């Protein structure tokens, strides 16, 4: 997408030639002079446009404007609250206009947010709105998207900061797109091996170090928990390891771990048939991790990162692990497998331990881990768990930059007691109650005192119905926040 910046007095915005000039408005008609202003006031007076959130109205060939259309989009009551609000508006207007086969869009940047934050929200929102999940449709029309974006800023805006924001936002949007493309792939077209190949190709292009650990090497490393999940599958597992060295003189290393189950049948504890096809998205945490690393390599923050994606299939073959089996994790802990559908925590346990062996001093894992977190938080917020308050506060700074919705849930010894083993050290499920928390406590057993954050994205990684700003399908969450966290830590 070609992006241009225009620094103009407000009155000069009308001189921009484009298919659609987008203006964000609230519940009250703006004091807008001229014929176009009168037409906008008439829309308000008639009730055709009220300014409610995500409402869109179009004036064709507005008087005194070079744009072919003046597009109004509502922000609701008050001012924009966060970058997420503006990101959604940008995505919604993109999807609205590209459906009408428009290509060029000019966006008057609202002044409620800081200029850099507003630019990032608009550019990434437009790029996100351009995405469609119809990858394999024979009549697909990938050219139907916004290809030219003009951002209209007041003359007083800082030009160099705005230009830097455009450059970084384009990189962030590209990483987010990569994550969504991976998560959208069917299980037969993104096996663990193929996921490793896609990661290798990305790493070569981005300048990242990449190692693919196959089953034989994983056995040498005693990754018993990781290997157990793939026992029933004809597809071999791989553990993808990426390294970014942005601060060679520092011993601090951020570990990013993403669950990479490319298809999850549940194994012997097989899932119901209804909606099982969606289980291709069980590698969304891994996809977000890879997308974030793609962007981080281009943004070049001064930080060291090791990223690990344990990629595997969970299938009910003749060699599959069974309820009651005991697996020995890389750390030496023994795991009683009560439910083979609680497989994500098994692959993550070895990945978290290995990340620490590779020098990680802080850990973040992203995983579509539990249905229980969806029961608790619905499809609105991801669940966040943290064992270190200082690290959590830094994470909160990253969240404030992106606006991605997450809610902190507790860690507590009484939940950990629910997964104490009988014949092994630890159970891989704590039963029905508090399932998201007992899953987090399982992972907590493998991180020790290392500062760690766990993101349970089972409810937010996939949209089950269309939204104005995004079609049903992969959301790319939490790619934006992982990128922002790397930059926050580099600055800190």
Residues known to be catalytic: 271, 345
Residue tagged 């507590």 (tokens): 412
> Could you tell me the two tokens for 21?
């000039």
Residues 376, 381, 383: CA angle, nearest 5 degrees: 65
Q: How far are the Cα atoms of 13, 35, 239, 270, 368 from residue 350, in angstroms, in the given order?
A: 56, 66, 10, 23, 17
Query: Could you say which DSSP state residue 39 is in?
Result: H
Residue 54 in 3-state DSSP?
coil
Q: Which residues share a beta bridge with 150?
A: 4, 106
For helices 115-130 and 159-184, the axis angle rounded to 10 degrees is 30
Q: Report which of 490, 1, 492, 4 is spatially closest to residue 247, judged by C-alpha positions.
A: 490
Peptide bond into 273 cis (omega under 30): no
Instruction: Cite the DSSP H helix spans in 207-264.
Output: 215-220, 224-229
Q: What is the dihedral of CA 409, 415, 418, 420, to 10 degrees?
A: 110
Query: Could you say which DSSP state residue 49 is in?
Result: -
């Amino acid at each position: 997408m070609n992006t241009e910046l225009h620094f103009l007095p407000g009155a000069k915005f009308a001189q921009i030639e484009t298919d659609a000039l987008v203006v964000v408005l609230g519940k009250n008609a703006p004091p807008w002079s001229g014929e176009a202003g009168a037409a906008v006031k008439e829309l308000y007076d008639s009730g055709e446009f009220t300014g409610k959130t995500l409402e869109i109205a179009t004036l064709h060939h507005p008087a005194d404007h070079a744009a072919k259309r003046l597009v109004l989009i509502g922000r609701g009551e008050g001012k924009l609250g966060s970058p997420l609000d503006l990101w959604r508006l940008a995505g919604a207007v993109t999807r609205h206009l590209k459906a009408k086969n428009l290509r060029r869009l000019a966006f008057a940047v609202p002044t409620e947010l800081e200029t850099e934050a507003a630019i990032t929200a608009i550019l990434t929102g437009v790029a996100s709105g351009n995405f469609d999940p119809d990858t394999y449709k024979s009549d697909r029309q990938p050219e139907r998207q916004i290809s030219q974006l003009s951002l209209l800023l007041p003359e007083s805006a800082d030009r160099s900061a705005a230009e830097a924001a455009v450059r970084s936002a384009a990189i962030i949007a590209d990483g987010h797109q990569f994550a969504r493309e991976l998560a959208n792939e069917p299980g037969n077209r993104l096996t663990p091996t193929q996921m490793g190949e896609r990661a290798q190709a990305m790493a070569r292009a981005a300048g990242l170090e990449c190692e693919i650990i196959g089953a034989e090497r994983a056995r040498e490393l005693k990754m018993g928990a990781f290997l157990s999940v793939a026992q029933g599958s004809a597809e071999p597992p791989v553990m993808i390891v990426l390294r970014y060295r942005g601060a060679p003189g520092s011993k601090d290393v951020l570990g990013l771990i993403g669950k990479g189950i490319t298809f999850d049948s549940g194994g012997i504890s097989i899932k119901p048939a209804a909606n099982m096809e969606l289980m291709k998205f069980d590698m969304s945490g891994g996809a977000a991790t890879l997308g974030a690393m793609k962007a981080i390599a281009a943004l070049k923050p001064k930080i060291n990162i090791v990223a690990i994606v344990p990629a595997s299939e969970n299938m009910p073959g003749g060699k599959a692990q069974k309820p009651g089996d005991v697996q020995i994790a890389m750390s030496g802990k023994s795991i009683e497998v009560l439910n083979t559908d609680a497989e994500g925590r098994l692959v993550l346990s070895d990945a978290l331990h290995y990340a620490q062996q590779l020098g990680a001093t802080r850990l973040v894992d992203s995983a579509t881990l539990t249905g229980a977190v969806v029961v608790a938080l619905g499809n609105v917020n991801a669940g966040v768990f943290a064992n270190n308050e200082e690290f959590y506060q830094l994470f909160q700074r990253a969240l404030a930059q992106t606006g991605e919705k997450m809610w902190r849930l507790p860690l507590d010894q009484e939940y950990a007691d629910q997964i104490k083993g009988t014949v092994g050290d630890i159970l891989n499920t704590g039963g029905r109650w508090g399932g998201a928390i007992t899953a987090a406590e399982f992972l907590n057993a493998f991180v020790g005192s290392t500062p760690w954050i766990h993101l349970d994205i089972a409810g937010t990684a996939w949209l089950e119905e269309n939204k104005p700003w995004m079609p049903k399908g992969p959301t790319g969450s939490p790619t934006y926040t992982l990128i922002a966290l790397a930059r926050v830590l580099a600055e800190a």
